[in-house]
Copies of this chain bind each other. A is one copy, B any other.
């Protein structure tokens, strides 16, 4: 009824050193499965339909949180008469980083190395593919008169090769300084709020897309936000209503800030099984 779990398969493979590397289950799902591909298409269909409809009625407010807003009491930047835009993340939102993840999958156990990622930004522009559904959706959005802007934590120092990755995959035009914002623009560091604020001075942002909560607001990356609180913040209150309704999330179980949490963080104490006397079941 259910297949061998990914964990069991992984550990079984890990103990057989002569075998070729096993693909981690998250990569199998995201890059290899019909299910993973379908989630991309579904998210981009929803994104396209929402944006094309919103462009017709010109919303009063953008979907970028205003300065001083909180997750419990979100307020949004007013649009004024600025032209319409959407803001997207790049990695695992618009691009599948197949080359980089291939290298990772074939070197199991190797720790993350920022220099290797930097080398990927500089030399991997041709080893990517678009997320399924992205190219046609972004085309339809542009035809509706809406500017497509990428906001990525790739480095401004690699602007040329980062543009090439997007444009080569058919996702452009991506031009640094107008439709491509990178780490180093507006402010140093990986926070994306300063770039969202700068983009919001020029555009009315009617929708955003990303695979990490930080692609929507840096408030989700507050250091004191424990794993269960962060999930509640994203799935409860007034934030919940935004998913598929201005904010569009792409599934990424391969990497990112969502991939953490202990047993106690992930499994509520009142939802554990066997509930009692586990030995009596056999």
- A residues whose Cβ falls under 8 Å from a Cβ of B: 1-12, 14, 20-21, 23-43, 45-46, 98-106, 108-112, 114, 117, 119-120, 123-124, 126-129, 132-133, 153-154, 183, 190, 211-213, 220, 227-228, 230-231, 233-235, 240, 243-245, 247-249, 251-263, 265-268, 271-275, 281
Query: Are A34 and B213 in touch, CB under 8 angstroms?
Result: yes
With A43-B42, A117-B2, A243-B45 as contacts: A261 and B28 at CB distance below 8 Å: yes
Query: Would B123 and A273 count as touching, CB distance under 8 A?
Result: yes
Q: Which residues of B contact A211 (CB under 8 A)?
A: 35
Write 22 A-B pairs (CB below 8 A) sorted by A numbering.
Answer: A1-B117, A3-B255, A3-B256, A5-B104, A10-B24, A25-B26, A31-B267, A34-B230, A35-B213, A36-B253, A38-B234, A38-B243, A38-B249, A43-B244, A98-B268, A98-B271, A99-B272, A99-B275, A105-B267, A124-B273, A127-B271, A253-B253
Most chain B CB inside 10 Å of its own CB: which residue of A100, A244, A273:
A273
| Cβ-neighbour of A235 out of B41, B251, B262 (below 8 A) | B41
